Structure formats: C-alpha cells, structure tokens
Structure 1
Amino acid sequence: METIEGKVSLLDAVPVRCEHITSEWEGESIVLTYPRFKYDWMRRFLLPKGMSPDIRVTLEEHGTAVWNLIDGQRTVQEIITLLAEHFEGEANYASRITTYIMQLRKDGFIQLGVRS
C-alpha cells in the first residue's frame, strides 16, 4: 500500500490503521489504545507513578462502525456505502464519515493510502 503523495480524491483513498494503535471490543464499543510517549526512555523518566503508559479512547457507536470497516483494503467510498444502512438514511452521513476519517488521520490513528 502506497501512502498518498499526489492529489487523490479522499473517496478513492484507502484508510490503513497505524501499527502503534491497538483496538479491542469493550461491550458494544471499540477501545483504541496507544502509547502515551513515543520513546521508551520518555516513559521511564516522564511517566508519573501509577499512571498508565497508554492512552485509551472509547469510540462511540458510529466511530466504532467506521473503525470496524477500516481494514486497509476498502476505500473511503466503499466504507460510506457499507455504512448507509447503519446510518439509516441520516442526512449528510457521508460528510460525517469523511470528516471522521480525516480526524482519525490528523490524530495519527490511520494513514491514507492508494491501491497499488
């Protein structure tokens, strides 16, 4: 999978989960976990006693639905199409999904690539 370098439509992009992010189910939601510090030495010297070395983010219902479909194979358009039923005809849901995917990218949870 190549990362996006030139101009590619967001709808044709393929979201790929970043390797440093782990996810697990907790009830009906997905919880994302990632290291609080990038480097081990930072964790050893800067992490207060009793504080978790990881940050946990619980996704809400729609976020869980989107994350569950990010598999490194589907394009953003394919994810939008698959979630049409989940959003039950909600107005402007495609815009919500693209905004959410861009936020995941901005926050470092995913990268956007193109099919080779």
Structure 2
Amino acid sequence: MEIPEGKVSLLDAVPVRCSYITTEWEGECAVLAYPRFKYKWMRRFLLPKGMSPDIRVRLEEHGTAVWNLIDGHHTVREIITLLAPHFGEDKNYGPRVTAYLMQLRKDRFIQLTIGN
C-alpha cells in the first residue's frame, strides 16, 4: 500500500522499486532502464527505427549505493544508517539521501510503502 503524502514519517516508510524499472550495470554503477512508452502499441507506432525502446539513467556512486538498499524491506531510516560508512565524513548525508529518495519517487522509480 503506497503512502499518501503527509500521513506517515518519511523515515518510517519503506521504498520499493517499481516493477517496470530494470537495473543494469556499467562497472560499479547501476543503470536504470524504463520503457519510453507505457503501451506496446505506442512503442510499435511511435518509436523511430533504431531507437531504444527504453530510457536509461546512469546512477553515480552515491545513487547506486542508495539504489542497492531499496529492496522493499529497509525503511528510509535504516537506509540512512546503513549508508553512514559510504558517506564517511559527510555529516549532512541524511537529508541528501531523503531528498534523493523523494526525487526517485517523483520520477516514479520507486514507491514509498508502510513498513510491517
């Protein structure tokens, strides 16, 4: 069940990857791929020949670290705690991670659900 905005603390929410997003790898970085068109008929008639049916988004090191922890089980609070060693000396990484997760939600890469 997706969380309506403003109803639950973001830190207690559980990010879940959307089912139409696939993850590929370029070295150590994740590349997210999603369909250009929602419906197959649109791809068939609107996609120019030679163009990929997917849009690909390459995540940098920090984005990949966050993406790897989005497994449908960890809360946002747990993800922030687990990323502490990755961000090292950066004491302001918590708000950066939450802002990144909200952007992923806005771009429909993830949904935020209520943890069990």
- TM value normalised by structure 2: 0.96
Question: What's the Cα RMSD here?
Answer: 1.0
Using structure 1 for the length normalisation, give the TM-score: 0.96
- Cα distance in 2, alignment partners of residues 7 and 115 from structure 1: 13
Please list, as runs of the form range in 1=range in 2, the aligned pairs for 1:37-116 lying within 5 A after superposition.
37-116=37-116
- Distance of 1:51 and 1:26 partners within structure 2: 20
2: CA distance between counterparts of 1:74 and 1:91? 21
Match of 2:34 in 1: 34
% identity of equivalent residues: 75
Query: Which SS does the other structure have where 1:85 is aligned?
Result: helix
Report the residue type matching 2:19 in the other structure: E
Map Cα deviations across residues 19-51 of structure 1 (whole Å, 9 max, x no partner).
000002220100101000000011011101110
Distance 1:12 1:35 in 2: 30
Match of 1:9 in 2: 9
Partners of 1:89 and 1:66 in 2: CA distance: 17
Structure 1, unmatched stretches of 5+, are none
